[in-house]
Structures are given as C-alpha cells and as structure tokens.
Structure 1
Amino acid sequence: MSDAAPRIPYWHLWTDAQGISRQTRCSLTEFALHSMNPPAAPQWQGQKTHGGMTVMVTVQPVGWVGAWHENPRPQWIIPLSGRWFVESMDGQRVEMGPGEISFGEDQGTRERDGRKGHLSGTVGDGPAVLMVVQMDAPPDLATPCRFR
C-alpha cells in the first residue's frame, strides 16, 4: 500500500462575483488512512460532509441536451456509464465519462446573451447514466475548489 495520500480530480462549476458560471479543475487531497470499521484494513478516507442530502440516478437519453439552467442545489455528479458534457457561461465545455466527477454549484448566475447557469447533454451514441448527490446546504458562491 502506498504511503502517499491520493489526489482525486474533479471539475467545479461555480459562479464568479459577476454572476458568470465557470469551471475549474480541482483535486480532493485531504485524506487520512483509517479503518472504516475495524478489523477491516485501513483505507484512504476523505473529509465527511454532514447534513441532509438527496441521492438519485438519472439517465440522459442519447442526444439529450438540457436548456441553459442552474443546478437546482449544490450537487456532486458522477457518470456511471456513457458520456456527458457541461458548458459554462464563459464558453468552456468539459466532457466527462465514468469515474470522472463534477461538483455543480452555479446558483446565482446572471443571464447574459441568453445564457444562465450551464448547458449540459449527452455525448456519443449511448445514454449517460449519472449518480447525483444533492446537498441541502446553500451554495458557497465565488469559491472555486472549496472541497479539498
């Protein structure tokens, strides 16, 4: 087992002080080596988030594209199969597949040129199956990479 704590990359869709959504590449880095429940062997565990959450799985059909919109709540989005994209108001488009992670926190954007929040949809010839973990906590605006 490696002694080095892992670095797990994720994309953070966030709102800047001018109300424009942006995407920043971040990393989860704060891990500690603990047993989940002794006598199980130790494993790297990240920070815990407390509070209410809603967990769901969504299936975006082939060719699905959502209209420009904000995330309903701050939420982790993890593709389980297929590919999907997220385009932020600054024009950056990120495509993700299984195992890649996005944290959607683009609440509080201001409409500009018909864009508000983000545009998302499927990529390729298969549906995108996404696990979504919505947080009950309010967004933390203008703070890219707030999870470490």
Structure 2
Amino acid sequence: MSSIEYIRIFADADGCSHCRKESIELKSIHYAPPAASLNTTALTKADSSVFLELPAAWHGDWHPTPVRQWLILMSGCCEFEVGDGERFICKAGDVVLLDDTTGRGHKTWVLGEESVLISAIHFS
C-alpha cells in the first residue's frame, strides 16, 4: 500500500511547537468511475484554499499558523524552525501540516534566489 509522507508542526500543552514526520495511507478505490481504480486518502472537508508566494529573501519571524492547513510546496525551497529548536528544509513536492495554532508558533524563511510557491488548504 502507498502513503504520503509529510511534516507536522504542532504545539504542545505549554505552547512550544515541535515537528515530526507522519504519513497518510492510500487505499485503492473507484474514485472516478468508469476510470480504473486509483490510490486515495480518505475524503476530508476543506474550508478554503489559497496560493501563496514567499518571495526570495522573505522571512516570517515567530508566528502561529492562522488556521490548520496543509501546505504543498510547488516551487522553491524554505526552512522552518519550531519552538524546541529543530529546523527542517522543504522543497517543491514536500507537504507540511501546520497545526500550531496556539503558542509561539514557528519561523519560516526562503532559501536561495527562487520564490516559494505554495498551495495552502485550510481546514478545521
């Protein structure tokens, strides 16, 4: 069975943010009959979506995410830092679940000369 790996940023009870690798399992279903079955996750309701551009040299100081959201990087490269000091780099094709709606949040900055294009999917 296939899965999609992602990084989840979340806040603990004290408001300190952390990150960890997680995955979502894909199961074969008849998603678009009569086309052949394909692998999907379970359906999840989304509230809204937006495309974001983080320009080269952009830096977002400590901030919690304004809403729970999936970030799907479409181009560029950026680095995140969470409250416990851990850092990780994301590039085009990576998926991040921002779930740190409370506490100090995280920092983000663009690496390199290319803008980071992101598809953000908001959900409750």
What is the TM-score of this pair, normalised by structure 1? 0.80
Instruction: Using the TM superposition, give the Cα deviation of residue 25 of structure 1 relative to its aligned residue in structure 2, in angstroms.
Output: 0.6
Instruction: Using the TM superposition, give the Cα deviation of residue 133 of structure 1 relative to its aligned residue in structure 2, in angstroms.
Output: 0.6
| 2:120 maps to 1:124 | no
Match of 1:44 among 14, 39, 51: 39
Q: How does 1:11-50 map to 2 (within 5 A)?
A: 11-29=7-25, 31-50=26-45
Q: How does 1:94-113 map to 2 (within 5 A)?
A: 94-109=88-103
Q: Which residue of 1 aligns with 2:122?
A: 134
Match of 1:90 among 67, 84, 98: 84
Percent identity over the alignment is 26
5+ residue gaps, structure 2, are none
Instruction: Using the TM superposition, give the Cα deviation of residue 99 of structure 1 relative to its aligned residue in structure 2, in angstroms.
Output: 1.0
Q: Which residue of 2 aligns with 1:79?
A: 73
| 2:61 maps to 1:67 | yes
Q: Which has the higher strand share?
A: 2
Number of residue equivalences: 124
Provide the rounded CA distance (Å) in 2 between the counterparts of 1:19 and 1:73: 15
Provide the rounded CA distance (Å) in 1 between the counterparts of 2:15 and 2:47: 26
- Say what the alpha-carbon RMSD is for the aligned residues: 1.0
Provide the rounded CA distance (Å) in 1 between the counterparts of 2:5 and 2:89: 14
- Letter in structure 2 aligned against 1:90: D
Q: Which runs of 4+ in 1 moved over 3 A?
A: none
- Letter in structure 1 aligned against 2:27: A
What is the TM-score of this pair, normalised by structure 2? 0.95
Provide the rounded CA distance (Å) in 2 between the counterparts of 1:24 and 1:81: 22
Provide the rounded CA distance (Å) in 1 between the counterparts of 2:18 and 2:63: 14
Instruction: Using the TM superposition, give the Cα deviation of residue 60 of structure 1 relative to its aligned residue in structure 2, in angstroms.
Output: 0.6
- Letter in structure 2 aligned against 1:37: A
5+ residue gaps, structure 1, are 110-115, 138-148
Provide the rounded CA distance (Å) in 1 between the counterparts of 2:75 and 2:101: 26
